[in-house]
Structure formats: structure tokens, C-alpha cells
Structure 1
Amino acid sequence: MRADRLRRLVDALAQRDYGGILMFDPMNIRYATDTTNMQLWNAHNPFRACLVCADGHMVIWEYKNAPFLVEFNPLVKEIRSGASFFYAVSGDLGDRDAHAFAGQVEEVMRAHAGTNRRLAVDKIQIHGLRALERAGFEVMEGEELTERTRAIKGADEILAMRCAHHACESAIAEMESFTRQNVPLGGVSED
């Protein structure tokens, strides 16, 4: 399933003649890497990023103390840190941090996309966008690419969705059964 998802992303890059796609959206990072890390927090304060290059090379910028969340996936070829340039972390130095991050992206793209400077980006903060453009990238709309790619489901993904659906229904049935039996007796609280 992981390899199929990566192949779909790489095929989508080739169809659009993009050198890579840089993802900040936690859903897209999950799709590409099969990893999670503080999804809600990351949606509010982006500290993770994932770059998939046209040749299939995949890099994740992970929270610096959590590389173990990615190490299980052999499709992720590099684990880096330093994708944070939101205000709560960078303060008034967001431009500096975004410039450093764009330098890392440029290094990877030069090695794995050659002279192709067309880089799709799904969601990015203004400092990051400007830094990528200053580095010479032609920033393209990445959300269209990820939405269309994620819409395609393989047989394994459909089975995984059915399994997750069943697990959810079973858990809810268990909670309902417990509640119906025990709440009327008292002594049950949210604690």
C-alpha cells in the first residue's frame, strides 16, 4: 500500500512535469509516509514537511526528537528536522528559518530533480513561500495533485478502510453496551 501511494504521487508529478511536491498538510504527509505525529497540533503549527521528488526520493522533516515515528518506513530515504518557521517557534526570525529550510529543499531537489524547478506545494506559510521563490522555485499548486492522488484507492486501501470501519463500529458497540448496563447503576463517570 505504501509503495502504491508513493508510485501514485510520483506518477502525478511526471504527468504535470513537476520536480517534486512539498507537503505540510498532515493528511498528505500521512498519505505519503504512513506516519502520524501530533496531527492537530501540526495542522495549527506546521513543524513537519515531506518532499517527494520526481525520481521517488522521499524526505521528511520530522520533529527533532521523534525520528522513530518514521524509521519503520523504508520508502522514506531521509529524515531531517527544521521545517518550523511559524511564529511561536521562530518569533521575528521566521524569514531566517524559512530561508534555511528552503536551502535544504533546494539541496534535495538539485540532487533528485535535476534542473526542474517546478515545485508543487500543498499548504505553506508566507515566509516559506517567499523563501522557496527566492531560491528560484516556480511554486505550483500542490493541493490539486494530492487531492486527486488520494482519491484513487487500491485494493489494500479499500480493505484497510473496511477494517478501520469495523474496528470503529465494534468499539462504539462496546461503549454503548457498557453504558447501558452500568450508567443506571451509578458509580460511572467520565473519570
Structure 2
Amino acid sequence: MINKDPSSIAHKTPSVGLTDIEAPLDLLRMRQYRLGRVREQLKANDCAAALLIDPINVRYAIGSKGCCPIFQTHLPCGYVFVATEGPVVAFGGVAHKERVIGLGTVTECRPAVSLTYFQSGPRLPESINVWAGELASLFKSCAGGNKRLAVDRLDVACATALGSHGIKLFDAQGPIELARSIKSAEEILCMNYSLSVSEVGMARMREALRPGLTENELFSILAQTNIAMGGEWMECKILTSGDRTNPWFQASNDRRIRPGELLSFDTDMVGPFGYCADVSRTFFCGPGRPSDEQRKLYKLAYEEIQHNASLVKAGVSFRELTEKSYRQADEYIANRYQLLAHGIGLCDEYPSIYYRQDVEKMGFDGVFEENMTICIESYVGAEGGKQGVKLEHQLLVTTNGCEILSKFPFEEELLR
């Protein structure tokens, strides 16, 4: 059953203008909850500490969004040490120290040591040795003889340097994703705030849509709305029109949208508080009326996400969802979306739920738990076809079913 009770906490969206430090919701409690989830996973995997470099994991663990998360993905300029029982040390520059003061999750701030050739050039080995020595000393001071350090991302030279100090590395990504998968009430509120911003952007896109507008011009409305309303970045730039809607996964370009065409997009935006709004919709560009084929594709995609969402509730296994999921007609199988569902939080995350055609090769089992947040996906377009439809719901898993968090309406003229 899909819960649509408007009194649910998931519908209570905070007002515009919130910051990461002061807000009419308990962000300190959210940050402490997330740090606690990380430590639970470290303890469950017998790790004495974690070293986090991935900006998403850093954001989750301590609540600091930083000023350059995209830069951090390829040129790390900061990192966080989280002891399972002990200090949380944030490494960065002077500005980084100012950002983490007051978060309530960080014990100490220290200067970061360069880990990139960009910053150190041929002196990089020297820099890495200094870094490894400091990390090893910190680790051993709170490890109690345990030699296991969980790490999410690390270059070979860095891993080798830590190993030379007798530290055994453990992959942190799985445990951190499991930690991130169960949301607190505050996280759900933050996600709703991000979704509400995405819906403002989508409404502006719908209003602006007209023949002659380019795909890039239309997508820029969503991106501008996100940044102007406190959002952070766009994960992708997927928006296509006309014959570029089939196959899926093409970036927007300077193609001009023509009358009578479909326009499909995926928001894929990291909004306020760092939470992702991942919603797909398909519009019709007038004047005129949608064709029978366009309405057929739209209705099939709509039926798929509605059917699959109705199957989701706490206690249902991933394989059960796959087995009972909507069955697309043979002509659309080849171009199916890569997943029928996936987790969502600060970004796309665990779990990935595969179509029955792919589950033997890539699938895995698990169970939906209360307060997971997931996206239900559908793409319908025939192989070799000239158009396709992309739709996507974002929802909250409850014990009685799921609650749809994405409120942007579907297109009545395409459902007739």
C-alpha cells in the first residue's frame, strides 16, 4: 500500500533559507545519528577506525559539506579520521577548520598533507611518508592493538605507506553505504526540502518549454533553481528531446526542441543539505496533442513505476521485488533502464535492484528496511525506436508500504 497520509513527517518540509548550522530542525541530532551509524558499522566489522576521503562519506560522517566536493573527488585536499571509540579528526586547511567548528561531530582539526601530484609534484613520495606517519601514530593511539583501518578511497602509494606501519586496510565503502541506507527523521525532512526545490525547478521548466528552446537552455533552469535555492551541484545533465529520447542516457546539448516532441529528463540534483532529488519526468512540447504512440509509451512507464512502488514495504526482499515487478513487453526489453530501483540519500546509493533479465549476472539479495529511501525507475522505448519515456518516483519505505516523496504531477494529456 502506498501511504499518502499528509500528516506524515515526510511531508513537513522546512522553510526556505535553512543553513547547515542553524535551522528549525535538529541538524545536530542528524549529524550525531549519522556518525553513530558509521561507528556501528566499524564495530560490526572489527575495525578500530576509518579514514574517509570520498566527499559523500565525509559529509555523512561529520556533516561538513566543504566548498569543493567535485574537486575533492579527483584532487583530495582533505580527509577525516573516525575512531570507533575515540576522536574524530578532520584534516584540511584554515577555511576547512572554520567550516567544521560547531558541527558537534569533530574532536580536533589538523592541517591536511598533500596526497596528489598536482600539489606535490616529484616530492609526492616524501609527502605521502609524512602523511602515513601522522595517520599511523593517530591510529595506534586509539586502536587498542587492533590493526584494521577501514578506508574508502586510497591510491596505491598511500596504501603501501600505511601498510609499512603494520596497518591492515579494510574496504570501508560497503559498511558506510549500509550505514547511510537507513534514514533518520531529520534526514527525511532534509530530503523533502531538496525535493521541493527540484519541484520548483521542474515547474519552471514546464512553464518555459516551447518550440525553439534548446535542451541546454531548458536544463539550465533546473540547475539555476537548485543553486539559487541553496542546492549544491548537479550529478548529471540528462535531458533529451525528440529522437534523442531513445535510447536513454544522453546528455543535453544545443538541439532545439520542436513542436509535437517528447522531452524527458532526470533531475539527478544534490540539493540543500546535500540530499539528492532524483526524479524523472517526460513532457510534451506543444502546440498540438500527443500522438497515440506517445501516450502509449507514457502510460506503460507510468504503470510500471506505480506497480513496482506498490510492492515495496519493509520486509520485502530485493529478489521478491524483482520477481513480482512489472513485465515490460518484449519490444521494450532491450532498451530497459539499467535498474528497476535503487537507494537514494546524499547520492545514488545501496541497494541496486535489477530487472529479472539481469539479476543472475549482477543481482544480489537483501531486505527493504523501514526508513530506507529508494527510487523506482522506468524507461520505455523500443529498440531502434524514435522516442522513449523516462519516469521515476522517489519514496520512503515504511512497514505498511511506501510513501511517495516526489510530488511533481504527471502529464494528464499523456495519460488520457
Question: TM-score, length-normalised on structure 1?
Answer: 0.87
> Residues of 2 paired with 1:46 and 1:70: CA distance?
17
Paired residues for 1:101-116 under 5 Å: 101-116=131-146
User: Following TM superposition, by how much is the alpha carbon of 1:146 offset from its aligned partner in structure 2, in angstroms?
Assistant: 1.2
> 1:29 aligned to 2:29?
no
> 1:158 aligned to 2:188?
yes
Letter matched to residue 136 of structure 2: E
Indicate if the aligned counterparts of 1:85 and 1:127 stay in contact, CA closer than 8 A. Answer: no
Secondary structure in 2 aligned to 1:167? helix
Secondary structure in 2 aligned to 1:47? coil
Indicate if the aligned counterparts of 2:79 and 2:112 stay in contact, CA closer than 8 A. Answer: no
> Residues of 2 paired with 1:15 and 1:29: CA distance?
20
> Residues of 2 paired with 1:29 and 1:12: CA distance?
15
Indicate if the aligned counterparts of 1:29 and 1:35 stay in contact, CA closer than 8 A. Answer: yes
User: Following TM superposition, by how much is the alpha carbon of 1:99 offset from its aligned partner in structure 2, in angstroms?
Assistant: 1.5
> 1:121 aligned to 2:143?
no
Secondary structure in 2 aligned to 1:107? helix
Structure with the bigger RCO (C-alpha within 8 Å, sep 6+) is 1
Question: Counterpart in 2 of 1:9?
Answer: 38
> Residues of 2 paired with 1:175 and 1:152: CA distance?
32
> Residues of 1 paired with 2:143 and 2:185: CA distance?
30
> Residues of 1 paired with 2:205 and 2:62: CA distance?
32
Letter matched to residue 25 of structure 1: D
| Contiguous gaps of at least 5 residues in structure 1 | 185-189
Indicate if the aligned counterparts of 1:94 and 1:127 stay in contact, CA closer than 8 A. Answer: no
User: Following TM superposition, by how much is the alpha carbon of 1:61 offset from its aligned partner in structure 2, in angstroms?
Assistant: 1.0
Letter matched to residue 85 of structure 2: D
User: Following TM superposition, by how much is the alpha carbon of 1:139 offset from its aligned partner in structure 2, in angstroms?
Assistant: 0.7
Question: Counterpart in 2 of 1:130?
Answer: 160
Question: Counterpart in 1 of 2:48?
Answer: 19
1:90-131 deviation line (CA, Å, top 9, x unaligned): 111222111111222122222222211100100011221111
Indicate if the aligned counterparts of 1:23 and 1:122 stay in contact, CA closer than 8 A. Answer: yes
User: Following TM superposition, by how much is the alpha carbon of 1:172 offset from its aligned partner in structure 2, in angstroms?
Assistant: 3.9
Letter matched to residue 160 of structure 1: C
Letter matched to residue 23 of structure 1: L
Paired residues for 1:49-88 under 5 Å: 49-88=79-118
> Residues of 2 paired with 1:79 and 1:33: CA distance?
12
Letter matched to residue 124 of structure 1: L
1:117-174 deviation line (CA, Å, top 9, x unaligned): 1001000112211111111100111111111111121222112111211122124434
User: Following TM superposition, by how much is the alpha carbon of 1:176 offset from its aligned partner in structure 2, in angstroms?
Assistant: 5.3
Secondary structure in 2 aligned to 1:66? helix
Residues 129, 53 of structure 1: CA spacing in aligned structure 2 closer, same or farther, 3 A cutoff? same
Query: Which moved further from structure 2: 31-40 or 59-68?
Result: 59-68
Query: Which moved further from structure 2: 55-64 or 157-166?
Result: 55-64
Indicate if the aligned counterparts of 2:151 and 2:169 stay in contact, CA closer than 8 A. Answer: yes
Question: TM-score, length-normalised on structure 2?
Answer: 0.42
Q: Percent identity?
A: 28
Indicate if the aligned counterparts of 1:20 and 1:119 stay in contact, CA closer than 8 A. Answer: yes
| Higher normalized helix content (fraction of residues) | 1
Question: Counterpart in 2 of 1:92?
Answer: 122
| Higher normalized strand content (fraction of residues) | 2
Letter matched to residue 74 of structure 1: G
1:67-103 deviation line (CA, Å, top 9, x unaligned): 1111121210111122421100111122211111122
> Residues of 2 paired with 1:63 and 1:175: CA distance?
39
1:28-78 deviation line (CA, Å, top 9, x unaligned): 011111112201111010111111111152111113443111112121011
